[in-house]
Amino acid sequence: MDSPNTPTPSLTSFRVLAFDIYGTLIDEPAALHRCLEPLLARLPPSHPAPSPPALLSSFNRLEHAVSTADPSLPLPRVMKEVYARLAASLHVPPVPTEADAFVRLKATAAPYPDTVAAMQALAQHYKLVALSNIDRASITQTLRGPLAGVRFDAVLIAEDIGSYKPDHRNFDYLLRHVRTEFGAGKAEVLLVAQGVASDHVPAKEMGVWSAWIGRERPEGERGSEGVGEENEGRVAFRWRWGSLGEMAGEVEEAFEREGKGGSGN
200 burial level (CB within 10 Å; 0-12, 13-18, 19+): buried
From 20, 135, 167, 199, active-site residue: 20
Return d(Cα 243, Cα 11) in angstroms, integer.
Answer: 16
Give the CA radius of gyration of the chain.
19
Q: Percentages helix, strand, coil for the chain, rounded to the nearest 5?
A: 50, 10, 40
Question: Which DSSP symbol is given to 243?
Answer: S
The answer to whether the beta carbons of residues 199 and 37 sit under 8 Å apart is no
167 is catalytic: no
Residues serving a catalytic function are: 20
